[in-house]
Homo-oligomer: A and B are copies of this chain.
Amino acid sequence: MAGNRLDLNLLHVFDTIYREGSLTRAAKALHLTQPAVSHSLSRLREHFDDPLFTRQGNQMVPTPLARRFLESMKPGLTQIQGAVNQFHAFDPANQRKTYSLGLRDVLESTFLPPLMQRLNPYPELEIASKRIPRRDMETQLAAGKLDFAVDVLLPVSNQTSHELLRQDRLVVLVREGHPLAANTLDMEGYLSARHVLVSSRAEGPGIEDFELSRLGVQRSIRLRCQHYYAACRVVEQTDLLLTMPETYAQIISERANITIMNPPADLPSVDVHLYWHTAYGQEPALIWFREQLKAIQ
């Protein structure tokens, strides 16, 4: 670019450096090497005749001019990128993007394996699964830090769209050879045994307990823990019963001496929803990815 017209691609680099506060991290985000970003920065510096970013300790701090410039042009840049993303012909075959998902514990195991298998034909594509506190989900989606989140049904504002991905019914797990495994599980048997309750919260009942109390009965909790996997290992070695979502139960039982049984009553199913930011939802890349997520049953 001769003359004095700025190469607009440098703006994208500028924005990324600003956001990341580091050339190395910016380079990673841009799928470039660090010297490439450094060269781009020096071109920007020459164009603006300003250091733009100065190194302070281990982060690149923007100068006042850089700050003002970013404020001036950032809205325009996001608008342009939005427009480009919205209209460009989307070819999943050679997209190079990192999709970031908000997945909570169990869902990693149930979603990621079939997802990665489905994404096999697209090697340039990268996935990052992050554990996000529920109250931050909407914020992160809105900020573009997260492309999607998967969680149970939650109250969200209308800037966040969601869709039912799957209904996971609850099943009961017992160790192989457990006395109750011989016959169909009835309520009497279910209540006679003691139970493991898995919950991320420190106290309070699980969703299955709500239904049980509605039926006028109560079970006895022997162990409360945070992860289903740990709970299964316990179940395998004791006579405790574990009530949990079927999908994850299937996965775990493949490698464990565990029997899956139908629950003694119609327990509520766990509704797993997919969440995304409404405004970004029309981007072809995200539409495509949403289809992929929905396609894994």
Contacts and interface: CB of A to CB of B under 8 A. Distances in A.
Contacts of A91: 4
Interface in A1-58: 1-9, 11-12, 31, 46-50
A72 interface: yes
A89 interface: yes
Interface residues of A, number: 42
Protomer copies = 2
Contact of A77 (B4, B69, B76, B88): B76
A237 interface: no
Interface in A179-216: none
| A interface: dominant SS | helix
A8 B7 CA distance: 8
Contacts of A80: 8, 11, 73, 76-77, 80
Most chain B beta-carbon contacts within 10 A, residue among A6, A31, A96: A6
Contact of A76 (B4, B79, B90): B79
A133 interface: no
Given A72-B83, A76-B78, 12 more contacts: A3-B31, A3-B124, A4-B95, A6-B84, A11-B80, A48-B89, A49-B89, A50-B89, A75-B76, A76-B79, A76-B83, A80-B80
7 contacts: A3-B96, A49-B89, A69-B83, A69-B87, A73-B83, A76-B76, A76-B79
